[in-house]
Amino acid sequence: MNRPVPGLAPLRHAIDGVDDGLVLLLAARTHLARLVGRLKAGAGMTGRDAARERRIRQRAERLAVRLGVSPEAASRLVALAIAEACRAQGLESDLDQGAVMAAGMIIPRMDIHDSDSTLKPSHAWLRLLPPPKRLAPVVRLLPMPVQQHLLERAMARVLAGPIREGALDFMAGRRLGIEVSDLGLRWVVTLEGGRLVVVNAPAEATVRGTATDLLLLAGRLEDADTLFFQRRLVLAGDVELGLTARNLLDRLPWETVPLGLRIVLNRGARLARAARAAYHASS
């Protein structure tokens, strides 16, 4: 038998009270959402409002940072509340992967990619493509200066518009790490003289993801919000810098990327996604 720990019972009682409060607040929020649902239906508005939902999650994240709790936890918490609000309004709520994961029903990675129709029998040959982690030793053979040059050129192309508009000014003198987990590659970038350059210094914050997920992001087949939410992209280090970078990724003006490059990225990302699905299906 455990001996009673002095002070434990009243603290646990207080936690029970907070939990009751959470459920009460959920009920109040759901009630308000139902009222909003009626107003929207009366005005002929249908469906979910992704932009509003994103703003709600970002607000919760900012508040969490100020309060010293995990912004991810806060984001998941409001995503759950939103999913419940949508269910109460008779809107689709099962698309909300983040909320479903937060509820503990982790969706196997395959389901996410299976819904993609790119994996047809005619694509069975894709199985023969090696997964990125098998390519890692080959990619690492590229000397660092060559890797740096390629990355700097790619960033200059993709981000030319946002850099011109000053959207990356927050990166001046800040060091952001980019880590391709399955390739074992890692770079630290900063903004210097209006250009993103790779530097040899420790990162203040790092964005980490697999080669395929980063390509899906760059090719616009997945949005940053979804990838972060499903923890396929992960932030580490300085939270404010990381969140600013994440919000930028979310709002990248894709239309400023040259059309040819957009097509290449899009095709490459589709191929990588189909190859991953084929690889998973065969293993």
Ligand X SMILES: C=C(O[C@@H]1C=C(C(=O)O)C=C[C@H]1O)C(=O)O
Give the footprint of ligand X on this chain (CB under 6 A).
33, 36, 48-49, 52-53, 56, 82, 85-86, 89
Structure tokens at 269: 């990302």
Nearest to 268 by CA among 192, 191, 212: 212
- The residue behind tokens 């269910």 is 87
Least distance to ligand X, CB of residue 166, Å: 30
Q: Which one, 52 or 109, has the nearer CB to ligand X?
A: 52
Least distance to ligand X, CB of residue 52, Å: 4
Q: Which one, 26 or 185, has the nearer CB to ligand X?
A: 26
Q: Which one, 83 or 158, has the nearer CB to ligand X?
A: 83
Residue of minimal Cβ distance to ligand X: 85
225 Ramachandran zone, left/alpha/beta (phi>0; psi -120 to 50):
alpha
Q: What stretches of 43-70 show up as alpha helix (H) in DSSP?
A: 50-67
**How many Cα atoms within 13 Å fall on the side-chain side of residue 18?**
6
C-alpha span between 175 and 190 (Å, rounded): 5
Least distance to ligand X, CB of residue 49, Å: 4
Q: Which one, 38 or 186, has the nearer CB to ligand X?
A: 38
Least distance to ligand X, CB of residue 102, Å: 14
Q: Which one, 33 or 180, has the nearer CB to ligand X?
A: 33
Least distance to ligand X, CB of residue 120, Å: 33
Strand order in the sheet with 176-180: 195-199, 185-192, 176-180, 205-209, 233-237
Q: Which one, 81 or 211, has the nearer CB to ligand X?
A: 81
Least distance to ligand X, CB of residue 61, Å: 15
Counting every residue written for the chain, the total comes to 283
C-alpha 175 chain-centroid distance = 20
